[in-house]
Amino acid sequence: MAATGILGGTFNPPHVGHLVCAQEALDQLELDRVTLMPAHTPPHKQVPEDPGADVRLRLCELAVAGDERFAVSNLELRREGPSYTVDTLRALHDDRPGDELTFIVGADMALSLATWREPEEVLRLARLGVAERDGARREDIAAVVAPLHDGSRVTFFDMPRLDVSSTALRRRVAEGRPIRYLVPDAVAAEVAARGLYRPGAAAAGPSPIREEHPA
């Protein structure tokens, strides 16, 4: 049995903010491993300049290569249709029923928990590991969770403030600016080698950001 954290997202591209979040969750929540879970078709909110799910998967693999604390799963990429969290957690339980799962989210995402598909089931299948950031208080999150669960399945960890985002990184590449030190070196090299995010670069079509919405 393992204590496994799941960090989902589009990872377009993965950056140091993702890795610091994974590391802090692993350390503070006493996890054995954190798995990055690139989304195939999350429910809504589209992201432009998507190089394709297979490319984003490869970037994630490069981002964590050599660090045994982290892994990458293609579970959502293998499944057709929207990538609902509850379906992902069910599949993980079927695959490794003895594991204790922690689904890692930012505080802003935790505040939207009531709008996710089957939120009570999400909390039954996994505890919620919430990265605390400015603008979202524990009390506000507790109020959201109260109608769904007694709160014992929600835990918090501190997240250093890092002003880096995938959107900003794509913009920097398009402007011909460097992204080294904002992403792992292997990710920067792969972005350059593939010509990703440059003006006129081919995209696989828009890929939505992970965000739950009512079923």
What is the number of structural domains in the chain? 1
On whether residue 213 sits in a domain, the answer given is no
Per-residue pLDDT tens over the stretch 174-201:
999 999 999 999 999 999 999 999 987 6
* CA distances, 132 to each of 49, 116, 120, 167, 200 (Å): 29, 20, 22, 21, 38
Q: Which of 193, 191, 175, 194 is CA-nearest to residue 183?
A: 191
Beta carbons of 74 and 57 less than 8 angstroms apart: yes
Range of the domain at 179: 3-208
- What is the identity of the amino acid at 143? A
pLDDT at 46: 61
**203, pLDDT greater than 50:** yes
Q: What pairing do the DSSP bridges indicate for beta strands 207-208 and 46-47?
A: antiparallel
**7, pLDDT greater than 50:** yes
Q: How many residues does the chain have?
A: 215
Burial of 161 (0-12, 13-18, 19+ CB in 10 A): exposed
pLDDT at 132: 84
The radius of gyration of the chain's CA atoms, rounded to the nearest angstrom, is 17
On whether residue 80 sits in a domain, the answer given is yes
0.85 surpassed by pTM? yes
Local structure of 109: helix, strand or coil: helix
Beta strands in 99-189 (DSSP E): 100-106, 127-132, 154-158
Task: Give the model's confidence band at 48: pLDDT under 50 very low, under 70 low, under 90 confident, else very high.
Answer: low
Q: For the domain that residue 143 is a member of, what is the CATH number?
A: 3.40.50.620
- 37 CB neighbour count, 10 Å cutoff: 26
